[in-house]
Amino acid sequence: MSNERLTSNRRAFLRGQFLSPDVQREKEEELAEIERKRLADMPVQYMEYSRKAMAADFVIFTNAGEYENAFDTAVDALDEVSRLEKVLSYFLPESEISRINEDGPYYPVSVSPEVYALLRQCHALYEATDGAFDVTATALWEVWGFMQRQGRVPTEEERLHALACVSSGKIEWDDADCAVKLGGEGMKISLGSIGKGYALDVATLVLEAAGMSDFLFHGGLSSVTARGARRGREDWLVGLHHPLKKGERIMEIPLKNRSLGTSGSATQYFWANGKRYGHVLDPRTGFPCTNILSATVLAPTATEADALATAFYVMGPDEARAFCEKRPELGVIFVLPAAGTNVKIVKMGETGV
């Protein structure tokens, strides 16, 4: 996206330990200032509406002057994102997800049809990716310290105990009552790998219902959806940032009536005993994924793009290519490490670049 503000919901980390909240804010402000300076001399061609939610900046871009109702409609769409955060958050005790995590290991918990349908979609993605996407991987996140922002290498006993709490295949479903029962004590659900994409899709319906057909909408830059085109173009441009070189873009991806999701661990990691551990965990093994810097997926919906970006990061290029052979409408861009700070790009499917 040529004129996107560079804001990051991804946390920066020091070698060996996580950054303090104050240093995290300083790093984020530094990245944002780089982008502000880049845009300073450009003519204003778009309007921007933003709100903080789900630990990210949700931002809507529209062509300047195209819609008289743009402000009110954008507020309504962002209100929908805020509503969904209260429903889907792992961290808010009153959310429906928190109720499932508290009571679900012991008895079925009835939830709204909206949340039930999303969880069913998560289960379908779990099956389609052979477990590479799994919203019950929360116990692993906790034992590796990523949930607490304090990375640590667990003991083998801790890893195996957490792994035993992971498997969407153990969830029991009651379609009649929209009820969910988790697979046992210690199992928890977290929608961090799909929630922002889902929120974009739901909020996009608000924009479209109000007659808006040209806009770009992102949640923390890692989840993006686009409709129509930016003035003067046939699409919108979304920048794919270099995972190892701050402020540098690898490429610009054209996006129109399509969504994009990116998963990576270039900034969320820690070092221990000379080894780097990233925050994207393989729910099938309980270990962090290695040898991939980022995976970007282009898909019809932001929900699917968000989830498959995580799944493909776990699966790697070979498994992802086999998956895409059955889904030709998908596009995938892997950024792999090369010598030094160089990278190798692997593309497959309909990427547009």
Q: What is the mean pLDDT of residues 144-158?
A: 85
Q: How far are the Cα atoms of 99, 120, 219 from residue 175, in angstroms, in the given order?
A: 18, 10, 31
At 9, is the pLDDT very low, low, confident or very high (cuts 50, 70, 90)? Answer: very low
Q: Specify the long-range contacts of residues 43-48, CB closer than 8 Å, at least 24 apart.
A: 45/3, 45/230, 45/231, 45/232, 46/3, 46/230, 46/231, 47/71, 48/5
At 269, is the pLDDT very low, low, confident or very high (cuts 50, 70, 90)? Answer: confident
Evaluate if residue 55 carries a pLDDT over 70.
yes
Given the structure tokens 């661990």, which residue do they identify?
265
Given the structure tokens 């994924």, which residue do they identify?
289
Evaluate if residue 35 carries a pLDDT over 60.
no
- Beta strands 215-219; 179-181: pairing state: unpaired
Which pLDDT value is given to residue 112? Answer: 98
Q: Which tokens in the block code for residue 10? A: 């991804």
pLDDT digits (tens, 9 = 90+) for 226-244: 999 999 899 999 999 888 8
At 24, is the pLDDT very low, low, confident or very high (cuts 50, 70, 90)? Answer: low
Which pLDDT value is given to residue 291? Answer: 86
168-185 in b/e burial notation, b at 16+ Cβ within 10 A?
beebeeeeeebbbbbbee
**Weakest mean pLDDT among 119-128, 213-222, 268-277:** 268-277
% of the chain with per-residue pLDDT over 90: 71
Residues 164 and 127: their CA atoms lie apart, in Å, by 18
Residues 144 and 139: their CA atoms lie apart, in Å, by 9
Strands of the sheet with 179-181, listed across from one edge: 109-110, 179-181, 172-174
In the chain, the amino acid numbered 313 is Y
Q: Which residues pair with 333 in a beta bridge?
A: 296, 347
Evaluate if residue 283 carries a pLDDT over 90.
yes
Which 8-state DSSP code applies to residue 291? S
Contact between 312 and 298 (Cβ < 8 Å)? no
At 29, is the pLDDT very low, low, confident or very high (cuts 50, 70, 90)? Answer: low
At 28, is the pLDDT very low, low, confident or very high (cuts 50, 70, 90)? Answer: low
Contact between 192 and 169 (Cβ < 8 Å)? no
pTM value is: 0.85
Which pLDDT value is given to residue 46? Answer: 87
Q: Mapping DSSP to helix (H, G, I), strand (E, B) and coil, where does residue 335 land?
A: strand
Contact between 236 and 338 (Cβ < 8 Å)? no
pLDDT digits (tens, 9 = 90+) for 83-129: 999 999 999 999 999 999 999 999 999 999 999 999 999 999 999 99
What lies within 8 Å, CB to CB, of 228 at 6+ separation is: 213, 214, 215, 256, 257
Given the structure tokens 């309504």, which residue do they identify?
76
% of the chain with per-residue pLDDT over 70: 87
Which pLDDT value is given to residue 278? Answer: 81
E strands along 46-165, which residues? 46-53, 56-63, 109-110
Which pLDDT value is given to residue 299? Answer: 98
Average pLDDT, the chain: 88
Which pLDDT value is given to residue 270? Answer: 79
At 179, is the pLDDT very low, low, confident or very high (cuts 50, 70, 90)? Answer: very high
Angle CA 332–334–339, to nearest 5: 165
Q: Specify the long-range contacts of residues 158-161, CB closer than 8 Å, at least 24 apart.
A: 159/286, 159/287, 160/286, 161/186
Evaluate if residue 2 carries a pLDDT over 50.
no
Q: What is the mean pLDDT of residues 321-329?
A: 95
Q: Which tokens in the block code for residue 253? A: 């991806």
Evaluate if residue 15 carries a pLDDT over 80.
no
Q: How many residues are given for the chain? A: 353
How many Å from the N-terminal Cα to the C-terminal Cα in the chain? 14
